[in-house]
Structure 1
C-alpha cells in the first residue's frame, strides 16, 4: 500500500484562533448508516427503514450539496445480517430492495467517493469481531461478494474497517493483525482502493517511539481518529492538544494520512440513549477550530439522522437536525465565498 511522506501531512496553522472562515476546514464527508443500534437510533431508524431507492439516492445528493466529498459506510451488515441481497445470510428487511446499490449509484452520479464497510458480521463487540475466525471468514466472503456486485462503481474509492480500536494508549496487537489482514485481502480484490480506520480514546494518545512504530507497521492509508466530544471521552477544551500529539506521531511515521472523525451529537441521557444533534454555534464550530490545524480532512459522525435539509420527504431524525443543517449550511456558504 502507499506510504505518505511527512510533507503530505497538514501543517499546523499559526493564525489567531478567532479566525472562523479561511483557516477552518469544512466537513468533507460523513459516516453513513442504513440502521443504527436500537438504543441510540430511535429518532431515525424507522424512517430510514421505509426509504425507497429514490429517497436513498436523494439523501446522497443532499450530502453532496452541503460539501460532502466522501461517504464512509458504517456497516454492510448488522448483527450478522446484510443490508444488501447476499448469499451469505438473509437480508435485513427494508423498503428498498438494495439500498447499497441505490447509494453507490447516486455517488457515481454526483461524484462522491465511497468507503465501503466490510462488517458487521457478528455482534457489536469489536474485539470479538477482530479475533473470531468464523466472523473473519464471513467478512472476507462479503468482501468478495461486494467486489463482484458493486466493484464496477466509479465511486468505490476504498474500504472502511469498522471494528473500532481504542488507544490504551497503544493499539493492541490483535487490532494491528486485524487491520493488516483486512488491508491485504482488500488489496488483492481491489488493488487501487484506499483503506480507512477510525480509532477512539484520543486522550490516551502518545507521541513516542512505540506508537510511531505501530503506525509504521499498520497497512492503512487513512486514520480518522474520533474526537470523542460527543461521547464525552474528550472535553471540548482539550481536543486540540490530542490532535497535535497525533499530528506529531503521524508526521514522524510518514505512513497513514491523519484525518478526523468529528462527532456531531450528544446523548439524550448523559452517556446513553438516543443521539441528538449538537448546536453548531455553541459546540461544533469549536470542534472544527480545534481539529483543523492538524488534519488533512474532517469527516463527521454523522450526517444521517443528525442533519436534515428542511422541506424534504427524506427527513430522518430529531427536529433539531433541521436546525443543525441550517446552521452549518449558513457557515458553509460563507466559507465557499471566502475560500
Structure 2
C-alpha cells in the first residue's frame, strides 16, 4: 500500500510539473490581421497615407494586400469605406473619393483578398466622418445605406468574411447601453443582409474600465456580436506605464468571455506618437518591436483567440516594397524585426519566452558581486533569482546603475559548461532609463583572469518619446567552461541602466 501511495504521489508531481511546463510552452498567437485606412483624416495619418503615394489606385492596394499575405496575415479590417460623404466604392448616393473611370479601392482590396485567400471585414462607415455620433438617427440611416450597398456589391466575394461596425465607444467604467443598442441594431441589419457573416466591434477604455464590477460582464453579455477585438491601448498611452495593467485586464476579459458566445480577440496597437500622445496633430509611427512583441504575448497568455492589429498598414512596411509607406527607415525596420521573430531567429525566441513568465537557468541562486554599486532607488532586486520584471521601472525586480555603466560578476559556485548567456534591460526615456549601447560577456575559471566571450550591440528605437519596453542581449552557441561570468554594460549617454536578470543557459 505504501509503495502504491508513493507511486501515486510521484505521478501527481510529474503531472503538476508537466502542466507547469505546458503553460510556459504555450504557443504565442501569430499576428493575423490589420486594419487598413482608406481616407486621410488628420496628421495621425501622415505616414499611413503619405502625400507621395496615391493610395486610391488599385495597384497600390493590390500590392499592399499581397505583402500582408506574405507576412502571414489572414484578416483585413477596413476602417471606413466613406469619408466626408464621398465613397471608396461605387455608391449610388455618394460621389466617389477616387477618380471616375478607375477601379475603386474597395474593389481592388476585395479582388486581391480573393486571390490571396484572405478574410475581409467590411465597414459601414463613415456616415459623415471619424466623429460620427452613433446616437444620431441620421448617422444610423446613412450607415445602413452604406451597409446595404456594400453587401450588394461585395458579399459574394469569397474573401467577404464579415462586418466591422465602426461604433467604437468607451468601456469606462462599463459599456453604456447606448453603445450596446447601436451595435446590436447594426448587427441585426447585417445579419438580415448577410446571415453567415461574422460581426466584430473594437471598443476602447479597458485601461480604466471597472472590470471587476459584475455589471461590466453583464453589459458585455448583452452584445449580439460574434467578435470583440479589444483595443489594448498601449499605443494610446492611457497611463504612463500601461503594460502591466493591460495584461492583468486582458486576463480578466478572457475569463469573462468563457461565459459568453462572443469570441475574445485582441486589437494590439503597433504605434507610438511622433510628438504629443493622443493628438490629431501628432503622427502615428512604429513602436519598438520588443514592446509590440510583449503586447502580442500578453494577449496570447490572456486567452485571445486571434491577435489582430491597428495597424500593420502604414506602421510595418516591407523593406523592399515598390510602394513604400510608413515612417522612413523605422517602418522598414519594424517589418524586418517582425519577419525575423516570425521565423524564430535572433534574440526574439528568448525574449518572447521571458514575456511569458520567469525563465529557469543555470545561474538561479548564484551569488552576484556588484563591481558598480546599484543606485539607491533601484537596489532591491536580484539579478539571479529568475524573477523577471515588467515594463515598469517601479517594480522591485529592476536593479539600476547610474552614469551608464553596469559591471557585475556571477559566481556559479562550480565549473559549468556554458552554452548561452543573456541579460535583460529596460528602456524608458521619460525617466532617463536607456538600453546599454554594448553588453560584453566575460568568463573566468578563477575569478581573476577573464576572457571576453562576446560583445553584443544594442540599439534602441528612436521612437521612444512615450514608450517603455524590455529588450535582451543574448549570446548562443559558445561552448565554454567557466565558474565566473562577468557582465559589463556600457551606455554612451550616461542614462540609468536597469537590468532584472543575468541568464546562464536559459531554458525555453
Contact 2:55 2:61 survives alignment (8 Å)? no
Mark the CA change 1:159 to 1:170 in structure 2 (over 3 Å): closer, same or farther: same
Q: Distance in 1 between matches of 2:63 and 2:47?
A: 20
Q: Distance in 2 between matches of 1:93 and 1:323?
A: 31
Q: Residue 65 of structure 1 aligns with which residue?
A: 70
Q: Distance in 2 between matches of 1:16 and 1:267?
A: 37
Contact 2:54 2:60 survives alignment (8 Å)? no
SS of aligned partner of 2:77:
strand
Q: Which has the larger radius of gyration?
A: 2
Mark the CA change 1:205 to 1:49 in structure 2 (over 3 Å): closer, same or farther: farther
* Aligned pairs (5 A) from 1:147-158: 147-158=151-162
Contact 1:81 1:121 survives alignment (8 Å)? no
1:121 aligns with 2:124: no
Count of residues in Structure 1 that have an aligned counterpart in Structure 2: 318
Q: Residue 216 of structure 1 aligns with which residue?
A: 221
Q: Residue 8 of structure 1 aligns with which residue?
A: none
The CA deviation at 1:214 is 1.6
SS of aligned partner of 1:266:
strand
Q: Distance in 1 between matches of 2:27 and 2:188?
A: 37
1:296 aligns with 2:301: no
Q: Residue 3 of structure 1 aligns with which residue?
A: none
The CA deviation at 1:33 is 1.3
TM-score, length-scaled by structure 2: 0.60
The CA deviation at 1:16 is 9.2
Q: Which has the higher contact order (CA 8 A, sep 6+)?
A: 1
1:193 to 183, 197, 200: 197
Q: Distance in 1 between matches of 2:123 and 2:48?
A: 21
Q: Residue 53 of structure 1 aligns with which residue?
A: 58
Q: Distance in 2 between matches of 1:77 and 1:27?
A: 27
Contact 1:215 1:255 survives alignment (8 Å)? no
1:329 aligns with 2:366: no
TM-score, length-scaled by structure 1: 0.88
1:100 aligns with 2:106: yes
Point out the structure with the larger helix share: 1
Mark the CA change 1:15 to 1:79 in structure 2 (over 3 Å): closer, same or farther: farther
Q: Residue 202 of structure 1 aligns with which residue?
A: 206
Deviations 1:178-203 (A, max 9, x none): 00011000000000000000011112
Q: Please report the RMSD computed on the Cα atoms of aligned residues, expressed in angstroms.
A: 2.1
Mark the CA change 1:156 to 1:191 in structure 2 (over 3 Å): closer, same or farther: same
The CA deviation at 1:53 is 1.2
List gaps (5 residues or longer) in structure 1: 1-12
Point out the structure with the larger strand share: 2
Q: Distance in 1 between matches of 2:326 and 2:152?
A: 33
Q: Residue 85 of structure 2 aligns with which residue?
A: 80
Contact 2:38 2:55 survives alignment (8 Å)? no
SS of aligned partner of 1:292:
helix
The CA deviation at 1:39 is 2.0
Q: Residue 325 of structure 2 aligns with which residue?
A: 316
Mark the CA change 1:47 to 1:301 in structure 2 (over 3 Å): closer, same or farther: farther
The CA deviation at 1:14 is 5.7
* Aligned pairs (5 A) from 1:164-243: 164-203=168-207, 204-233=209-238, 235-243=242-250
1:43 aligns with 2:47: yes
List gaps (5 residues or longer) in structure 2: 1-18, 350-508
